[in-house]
Structure 1
């Protein structure tokens, strides 16, 4: 019994000494992966369909400080492209997704994200970078600062008089106030800066003393409904001028402008069966769900060498 107690005390003392002697270290990383948008044009209710319809890309760099054997703090800059398109989402089953097929909206958005995240490692790191774990699964959560600016293509030449714009040209949507923003009786224009909450999980694998490779999956829930420029209702057309009414209500366009594909036949069939979709005031979900995006990222991490401490007799 005495031997067991002494053994446990020795182990406990060694563990405390190990933790006290842990040497924090830093790493820098670069990576790339996929991005998928969730919002009014690609709903949360069908996640598999949303994830597989219009995935795009992200690239980023990061800095991480390993504070304890289990806990790290990281900051990242990520450039994210997301895309949504009613036609592409609904074209294979216009009857099931007839509201989206009729609405005929689309967008793309290049997001610039700066995030600060807390990271919890499930596997304890060694006392210094040279003894870090060979394989580390982890969770993360944090806060992100997001800058965005949604765009869409103007109509194709099939749609008649294009004297005020070039056909299928990408234009910024926030300035067009497509839901009447800024006019009397409507909301103010939405901000192109917002916050997001990143949460996710990942794993790192140690290649050698200087390099790790990592893979993570993370979701960003933003505080805006306008990553896609769609949230509320169609405005009265007399409050919009120039290109704004054209980009606001695209239900009567013969073509899907982003895909550059004719949709007239299926739209006419829906018009006969459900004409109310062509007159409804509902454009989006009226703020029911905030927009978000999911990122995957494959990255390489370089371990920054610790500062070499000189022996006392060399400091004279």
Structure 2
């Protein structure tokens, strides 16, 4: 009996594992961020994004996607409409390497590779991790790593890796047999405030042993002689976020026992 039960269980697992369709494809789009150097515009694009992904369709309404995305974001206080920000005079460029998985929920029945001209809006939520590296140009024109400079007087450099929670909305369109297009807007909430290397207050300049780091830490055009140390440098919000606005194309593999085959 145990052998029969084990055989049945393995058979069910095998059938379930085969009862799906797979998609794989590429991603291209724009990237932006919300943080200390952009606290007002949630759709501002300041960089780009490229990547690859694989999607497993469990039913016409539910799928899971795993992806790797490389992106870059930037901001410059010189472009701010706010005079206080322009006086702060900070800037950054950060590269992002993100690996994530997300669950997708289709509003309409979607069967890629079977229903030509199939279209559905969808929503998604996931979990991921991002490796990030903020840099900035110094007065000598060279680009420097900001994390190692400890520009806010950190006792040790902050982590290069942050937790990412991607969520958003999109549109899937199966336009040519096994080829599909997807367009989506993905916001990524993180547990770091250092995507832009700006978080809290100005550090004591006498604590810096590196002149370049000291210069990148405080670039104000007009400094306050009454309180040069400890004044606000960031916007005091606890976390930064970033976003990808992307278009992807994918190819679908259909198994001989896919989820819609009776």
Per the shorter chain, which TM-score range?
A: 0.7 to 0.9
Match of 2:217 in 1: 248
Alpha-carbon distance in 2 for matches of 1:80, 1:281: 32
Match of 2:74 in 1: 83
Contact 2:46–2:75 at 8 Å: present in 1 too? no
Match of 1:73 in 2: 64
Aligned length: 241
Q: Does 1:208 align with 2:200?
A: no
Change (3 A) 1:118 1:62: same
- Residue 177 of structure 1 and its aligned partner are, at CA, apart by 0.6
Match of 2:21 in 1: 25
Contact 1:27–1:301 at 8 Å: present in 2 too? yes
Matches of residues 114-193 of structure 1 in structure 2 within 5 Å?
Answer: 114-126=99-111, 129-131=113-115, 134-155=118-139, 167-182=140-155, 188-193=156-161
SS at match of 1:148: strand
Alpha-carbon distance in 1 for matches of 2:148, 2:203: 15
Alpha-carbon distance in 2 for matches of 1:146, 1:308: 36
Contact 1:73–1:117 at 8 Å: present in 2 too? yes
Unpaired runs of 5+ in structure 2? 1-15
**1 or 2, which has the higher helix percentage?**
1
Q: What do the CA deviations read for 1:64-107 (whole angstroms, capped 9, x no partner)?
A: 000122110100110111001111123xxxxxx12211110000
Structure number with larger C-alpha Rg: 1
Contact 1:220–1:293 at 8 Å: present in 2 too? yes
SS at match of 1:175: helix
**1 or 2, which has the higher strand percentage?**
2
Unpaired runs of 5+ in structure 1? 1-19, 91-96, 156-166, 183-187, 253-266, 310-316
Match of 2:232 in 1: 282
Match of 2:54 in 1: 63
Alpha-carbon distance in 2 for matches of 1:142, 1:308: 28
SS at match of 2:203: coil
Matches of residues 230-249 of structure 1 in structure 2 within 5 Å?
Answer: 230-242=198-210, 243-249=212-218
Alpha-carbon distance in 1 for matches of 2:75, 2:21: 41
- Residue 295 of structure 1 and its aligned partner are, at CA, apart by 1.1
Q: What do the CA deviations read for 1:138-193 (whole angstroms, capped 9, x no partner)?
A: 101101110001000011xxxxxxxxxxx1111100000101112xxxxx321000
Alpha-carbon distance in 2 for matches of 1:278, 1:42: 24
Alpha-carbon distance in 2 for matches of 1:87, 1:278: 21
After the TM superposition, which parts of structure 1 deviate over 6 Å for at least 4 consecutive aligned residues? 274-280
Match of 1:14 in 2: none
Q: Does 1:51 align with 2:26?
A: no
